[in-house]
Structure 1
Amino acid sequence: MYDFKVNFLYKILLTSHELPPLSSLEIPIPLTPLDKKDGFIHLSNSTQVIQTAVRFFGNEDEILVLKISYNQNGIKENVKWEAPPELEERFPHLYGDLLIKHIIDIVQVKSLRKGGDEGFEWPKGWLET
């Protein structure tokens, strides 16, 4: 089981991704094209989100990252920890809706590319297990 130390999961989106009003608690976050294609919502834990950001969003100047409480209704029971075909590491895949009420925080994370580094400038203390 992969969830024994997990309290938070993270969803990375492009800054252009349209979110419903934060007051609309029961409205689902619109799916990304990849999530639609794969039939589940791609999520990461606190260590995976840094790697995922660099690997899949490394060309972006800024990304939007949603912080999700793993132990709330509608999340934990709908997450399966699965390994992509090319990797052995298991990632959390949400088979269900990600609702506004599941989001506990949202940040825009800036790329370090312009300074010659690789990666993103994460808010201090924001990523938690």
Structure 2
Amino acid sequence: MAEIEPTYLYKLVPSTAPVHQPIPDRLPVSEIDQQSGFVHLSTALQVPNTLKLFFKDEPLVYVLRIPYESVARDIRFEDPEGRVCGPRPEEGLFPHLYNGLKLGKDEIESMSVWSNDHGWEKSLGAAKPWLLY
């Protein structure tokens, strides 16, 4: 478990799986989440590297903000699997949601759409007030 509990967790969704408003009861499950048996999430501190490593070629991503308190009972902070994303020790443990792969309107507080305009730095800078640990 992380030493300081985050206020929010974030799910990054690629442009190939658009998230529409209103957010449905249950979003489609990504292939990596289906294979892992849990929903891969990031803290605000982990989002920049998650974008750069897994979404570097995406034109945009949907960033879903999830209040930690609402899913805390189903969260495990674990090391990422080395074969999936390699060691990232400077980022600590990653939040994994074990709730039967359900992510939808009951879990998601808000959503932001970020553009990969020659890198993620511009979107990350604009999102600072919203991207909270």
How does the TM-score come out when normalised to structure 2?
0.81
Post-superposition Cα deviations, 1:63-116, rounded to whole Å, max 9, x if no partner, equal 1110100001xx111010000233242100001122312111111111131xxx
Structure showing the higher strand proportion among its residues: 1
Post-superposition Cα deviations, 1:12-69, rounded to whole Å, max 9, x if no partner, equal 0012314475264xx2221101100111100000010111011100011111110100
Residue of structure 2 in register with 1:48 after alignment = 46
How does the TM-score come out when normalised to structure 1?
0.83
Residue of structure 2 in register with 1:57 after alignment = 55
Residue of structure 2 in register with 1:95 after alignment = 98
Give the fraction of aligned pairs with identical amino acids, expressed as a percent: 27
Closer/same/farther in 2, CA of residues 42 and 19 from structure 1, 3 Å limit: same
- Partners of 1:30 and 1:79 in 2: CA distance: 19
- Partners of 1:20 and 1:78 in 2: CA distance: 25
Closer/same/farther in 2, CA of residues 3 and 32 from structure 1, 3 Å limit: farther
Residue of structure 2 in register with 1:77 after alignment = 73
The runs of at least 4 consecutive aligned structure 1 residues that moved more than 4 Å come to none
Q: RMSD in angstroms over aligned alpha carbons?
A: 1.9
